[in-house]
Amino acid sequence: TMDNQGYCGESFNSLQSGTSDEDMVEIAGATLDFSVTDDVPPLDREYAGEKSNNQGNCGAVNSTYDAMAEPVPGVGTYEDFNTIDWVREKSKDRDRHREIASKSKESTWALIQSVSDAFSGWLLMLLIGLMAGALAGGIDISAHWMTDLKDGVCLNGFWFNHEHCCWTSNETTFMERDKCPQWKSWAELIIGHSEGAFAYITNYLMYVSWALLFAFLAVSLVRAFAPYACGSGISEIKTILSGFIIRGYLGKWTLIIKTITLVLAVSSGLSLGKEGPLVHVACCCGNILCHLFTKYRKNEAKRREVLSAAAAVGVSVAFGAPIGGVLFSLEEVSYYFPLKTLWRSFFAALVAAFTLRSINPFGNSKLVLFYVEFHSPWHLLELIPFILLGIFGGLWGAFFIRTNIAWCRRRKTTKLGHYPVLEVLVVTAVTAILAFPNDYTRISTSELISELFNDCGLLDSSKLCDYINLNSSKSSNELPDRPANSNVYTAMWQLALALIFKVLITIVTFGMKVPSGLFIPSMAVGAITGRLLGVGMEQLAYYHHDWVIFKGWCTPGADCITPGLYAMVGAAACLGGVTRMTVSLVVIMFELTGGLEYIVPLMAAAMTSKWVADAIGREGIYEAHIRLNGYPFLEAKEEFGHKTLAMDVMRPRRSDPPLTVLTQDHMTVEDVETLISETTYSGFPVVVSHESQRLVGFVLRRDLVISIENARKRQDGIVSTSHIYFTEYMPPQPSTSPAQLKLRSIMDLSPFTVTDHTPMEIVVDIFRKLGLRQCLVTHNGRLLGIITKKDILKHMAQMANRDPDSILFN
């Protein structure tokens, strides 16, 4: 393990420290000692050391300042927009755990502490589930209400939306399920009657005004309080989970603003969903609740385990699919997913789903609006249209990613990005003006999907279910295929127009400066296409039941084709084409339907769509946005297939000045400070001397700055000419020379090294598997250069003929 904690009194035998080539003796001494005191926990070693040594490193009065007397606050933390050191965090946690485990044998109180430490993870998961479930329930209820606010108000109590206003009324009719006198549309309130051209225009104007108001409030709140709350958040969470730090991204202001503005953005009629932002909200809950437990507050690696579970909770409350949520976290969002996290994520997702169910936002204990309840069988020949839907989904996914990235890039680089508020308002105005005339775009997208997923029976009276009922003595399930009436044809072309509208408007909506998700619009596009194809197939089968393809299985009077199923398969195909989800998508869809009947069509469509989309463009939408923003995300799924070596990638290159290093005992405080101010490197290797270039360790810039500043302020005697030592023992100094500063405790004594002839494939693999941030390169045992994660990303970009300067962070 690394000796970062630096317990003082680490003495071995009374060996002197040589300054040059007596290092061999020192190293030998170190190995001897380690073999003896192998599993003694650090505390005991400290006691043993103090008893046997008289070196006076700790506690003896001298003029050296031992920088490890108490841990300096801030050492071990990270800069904003930097990558964490996974190895260091994990070993810190192992040390802490070892300490607690060893102390637990001492007293009952310590035993209770160790039990509560083990239990704290589960308690944290419970709290995250409760909080995220409650927030999701609140968001659902508020969004429903606000969406209906664009249409009218309830006189019974303004807090009821349209459906709940007419819940107890007896005035609802079969054809108009939501009619009641207590619900007044704006035309009725303003001009008194609800029919006629004037009323239509009033309703239109009020709809557009409310939409603009909601959008304006949303973008102003985001801009004023939490600019990190915009967008979907999944790309940034992916990067955070791979080790990046974005301070404030998962903070409490971001949580509050994201929750409030998500409701506003969804209610304004924009073509966006709330699933992606719900993942961000759940991760914010996770991050905030981590602060209650020291174990997770202080350790970045453990915190990311909790955040993986929180991401699972987010999808679970969005779709009412706990298993799908865990698989989504595993497949899409997380980088390292230890097995322990799997069980805990599932627990948290279940708690959240249960909490949401008790809040019951949709009535009937449904967790999501478009829960599917039919179970009609499908025939093997229908796989052909399902695969066609998959191909469409893949094509649409690739098209959407290309156009959306182009639009976002334009927003990033041209003047379009200087007017975010105006952009949101213009897009909302266009959306509202174009959406109102068409019945299928006026309703919220979730309701549209729910209507499209619905299988038409005798009890339905919507336009889409206006079939001619020939044989009126059948019961309401198991209806045969019927010919369509005129309303169905109206609905078909209205849906086609809605499809074109949604395809175009989502491209400009995703990525705006309001919380926006992508799942619902993609599913809507797929569902519309699927339903159109399904109704087409159904009518084809009815009118041409003597064709060869229908003859065997679709006799007249049988219920062969279910357009609702086609809509569902289409939705899955489009969602898979955009996000490139595989297992998680199928599991989410099958949890939505509550049965395994439709797994084969869903899988066929999802696989086809992924293959088609992958053939056109390699990345899903989230990876594409990561690439656009230049985050240092090392893709775990890509293979590195080039034959370069470590020396081709390392810095310094042949033409550059040699590597900036610190020596272990020749530098003064002034030298180090000059070095820090002249360079921008985030870490420096420490060598024995400039001539020998033999590696001692690696020290981070931030730790150096904090330690030196702390020493200057807290310890008298440290001036610019004080010597800095990274060695074990400092040579005794005459009392006239200034105090010495020992910084061995902040140095990483076991930096990872590779030789210069190591193939880059192995180097990339090491970086991925261990989560390294930098790796030193040696040649014949001497330090030659350094490879950082940013260098690897730039190299990979160069190999793929992309611009290497697009990698912005390290």
Partner 1 sequence: VIAMWALLTLHRWIIHSGLKICCMLLSTQSTEAKNSEDIRCKCICPPYKELPGKIYNQNVSQKDCNCLHVVEPMPVPGKDVEAYCLRCECKYEERSSVTIKATIIIYLSILGLLLLYMVYLTLLEPVLKRRLFGHSQLIQSDDEVGDHQPFANAHDVLSRSRSRTNVLNKVEYAQQRWKRQVQEQRKSVFDRHVVLS
Q: Which residues, 611 to 650, sit near partner 1 by CB under 8 A?
A: 628-630
CB of 809 to partner 1, least distance (A): 9
Residue of 206, 215, 226, 587 that binds partner 1 (CB under 8 A): 226
Query: What is the nearest approach in angstroms of partner 1 to the Cβ of residue 728?
Result: 27
**Minimum distance of partner 1 from residue 82's CB (angstroms):** 9
Q: Helices 486-509 & 519-543, crossing angle to 10 degrees?
A: 150
Structure tokens given for 173: 């009719």
Question: Judged by CB under 8 A, which stretch of 386-394, 411-419, 590-598, 663-671 contacts partner 1?
Answer: 411-419
Task: Count Cα atoms within 13 angstroms, Cβ side, for 82.
Answer: 19
Cα distances (Å, whole numbers) of residue 242 to 31, 299, 697, 773: 35, 14, 25, 11
Site for partner 1 in 465-504 (CB under 8 A): 472, 475-476
Residue 184 DSSP one-character state: E
Tokens at 751, concatenated? 């930096």
What residues from 664 to 703 belong to the interface with partner 1 (CB under 8 A)?
680, 702
Q: Which of 267, 262, 270, 264 is nearest to 318 (CA)?
A: 262
Under the binding rule (CB under 8 A), the answer on residue 594 touching partner 1 is no
89, 236, 275, 466: which one contacts partner 1 (CB under 8 A)? 236
* CA–CA separation, 100 and 116 (whole Å): 11
Residues 240-299 interacting with partner 1 (rule: CB under 8 A): 246-248, 253, 256-257, 260, 263
The residues with which 779 forms a beta bridge, in sequence order, are: 782
Contacts of 390 (CB under 8 A, 6+ apart): 569, 573, 576, 604, 605, 606, 607, 608, 609, 612
Q: What amino acid occupies position 526?
A: G
| Beta strands 740-742; 64-66: pairing state | parallel
Side chain identity, residue 487: N
Residues 177-216 that bind partner 1 (CB under 8 A): 177
Which lies closer to partner 1 via its Cβ, residue 45 or residue 712?
712
Give the footprint of partner 1 on residues 719-778 (CB under 8 A): none
Distance CA 245, CA 251 (A): 12
Q: Among 710, 733, 755, 798, which residue interacts with partner 1 (rule: CB under 8 A)?
A: 710
Told to check if 596 binds partner 1 by CB under 8 A, we report: no
Taking the least distance from each CB to partner 1, the nearer of 476 and 780 is: 476
Contact 133, 315 (CB under 8 A): no
**Where in 44-73 is the site for partner 1 (CB under 8 A)?**
73
> Minimum distance from CB of 168 to partner 1 (Å)?
6
Contact 566, 379 (CB under 8 A): no
Q: From 164-172, 436-444, 534-542, 554-562, give the range in contact with partner 1 by CB under 8 A.
A: 164-172
How far is C-alpha 517 from the geometric centre of its chain's CA atoms?
12
Sheet holding 667-668, edge to edge: 64-66, 740-742, 723-725, 667-668
The span of 229-237, 393-401, 429-437, 777-785 binding partner 1 (CB under 8 A) equals 229-237
**Binding segment (CB under 8 A) for partner 1, from list 36-44, 96-104, 162-170, 267-275:** 162-170
Residue placing its CB nearer to partner 1 in the complex, 257 or 348? 257
Residues 430-469 that bind partner 1 (CB under 8 A): 458-459, 461
217 binds partner 1 (CB under 8 A): yes
Range in contact with partner 1 (rule: CB under 8 A) among 77-85, 100-108, 516-524, 730-738: 77-85
Cα–Cα distance for residue pair 575/571, rounded to 1 Å? 6
Point out which residues pair with 695 in neighbouring strands: 687
Binding pattern for the stretch 417-436 against partner 1, x by CB under 8 A and - elsewhere: x--x----------------
Q: Map the footprint of partner 1 across residues 344-403, applying CB under 8 A.
A: 355, 358-360, 363-364
Instruction: Kindly state the smallest distance separating residue 400's Cβ from partner 1, in Å.
Output: 17
Q: Is 618 exposed, middle or buried (0-12, 13-18, 19+ CB in 10 A)?
A: middle
Q: How many residues of this chain interact with partner 1, rule: CB under 8 A? A: 78
